[in-house]
Amino acid sequence: MATNRTIDDTNGDLITGFMPVYAPTSAWNPTNCTVCFVQPEGGQFFDYTKHDSTQVASVPSSVTLNFTGTAIYLFCVVPNTVPLTTTFVDLKFTLDGAPVGTYTHVPDSSSDILYQVPVLSTQNLNNTPHTLIAETAGNSLFIFDFAIYTFDDSPPKVSASGPGLSSSVSTQPTSTATVQISDQNRIPIAAIVVGSISAWSVVAIALVVVLCWRRRSRQPSPDSEIDAFTGIPLVSTFFRLTGGNKSQSATILLNPGAEDPILPPYALTDPFGTHVQTSAQKITL
C-alpha cells in the first residue's frame, strides 16, 4: 500500500527519524532568524518552520534528503521583491547522482510571498533507497520548507527473469506441468473404459431379455401337450357325438396344414341306442 511521508526542514522524517543535511551549515538560517531581510509569516510554513540560505560567491547552498520510495516532491517559500536582498531563485536537483530537474523564479515587482510552492516533482521511482540533493545554481535565494515522498509497503513482485532466481525455481514449473499432463491423460482413459463397460453391459442385458422373451413365446400353453412324434403342441377339446347327448373328449392335433382329425372307431353298439359306428368317422370341429 502506498503512503505519503513528510520530511520537515527542522523536525525531519517522523517515521524513519532522518534529518535533512544542510551544507555549508554556516550558510543556513533557522526559522527565528532576526537578521534576515526576508521575513515570511511563520504561520504559513509547514509545521511552522523553515530553513533559508543565500549563495555567496561560488559555494552553493544545498540540502540533502535520504528516503525510500517511488516519488518525491520538494516545497519551498518563494518571495517576490524584497528591498536590499536577493529574491531570485535558481535551483537544481540531483537524484542518486543524476540530474532530475531545475527550478527558476524571477521575482515580479510585487511584495507577495508564495508559500508551499512545489519546486520539484519526481515520480515512477523504484521503491528503494534514494538520495536527493537540492542546491543553488548561482546567486540565488533558497528557502526550504518540507518534502513529501511516497513509500510503498506492498510485497515485492517476483519476476521470472529477475536476478537471484535459482535453477530449482525455474525447473519447478516444468515438473508441475508434467504432473498435470499425466493427470489429464489418465482421466480420458478411465472415462473410455467405464463407458465401454457400460455399453457392453447394456448390450448383454438386452440380449438376455430378448432370448428369454423368445423362449417364453415358444413355450406351449400350460393346457397343451406335445406330440411325441412331431413335436407339435396338442390341445384337448370337447365335442358331442352325432345324435347323442354324452360328451366325449379327444386330443386334436393343432396343425393348420394337416387334414381334419379322424376319431378312432367306437364300439359297434351305441350305448345310447341312437347310432352304431361301423368305421372310423371324421369329425369336423
Hey, where are the domains in the chain?
2-152, 218-285
pLDDT at 239 over 90: no
DSSP SS3 for 245: coil
Q: What is the pLDDT of residue 209?
A: 75
Give tens-digit pLDDT for 54-93. Answer: 997 889 999 999 999 999 999 999 999 999 999 999 999 9
Higher pLDDT, 249 or 147: 147
Per the prediction, the chain carries an average pLDDT of: 75
Give tens-digit pLDDT for 117-150. Answer: 999 999 999 999 999 999 999 899 999 999 999 9
Distance CA 31, CA 42 (A): 8
Distance CA 180, CA 82 (A): 77
Q: Is the pTM of this model over 0.75?
A: no
Structurally, at CATH architecture level, domain 2-152 sits in Sandwich (2.60)
pLDDT at 229 over 60: no
The cell for 26 is 554556516
Give tens-digit pLDDT for 178-211. Answer: 434 444 444 555 555 556 666 677 777 877 777 7
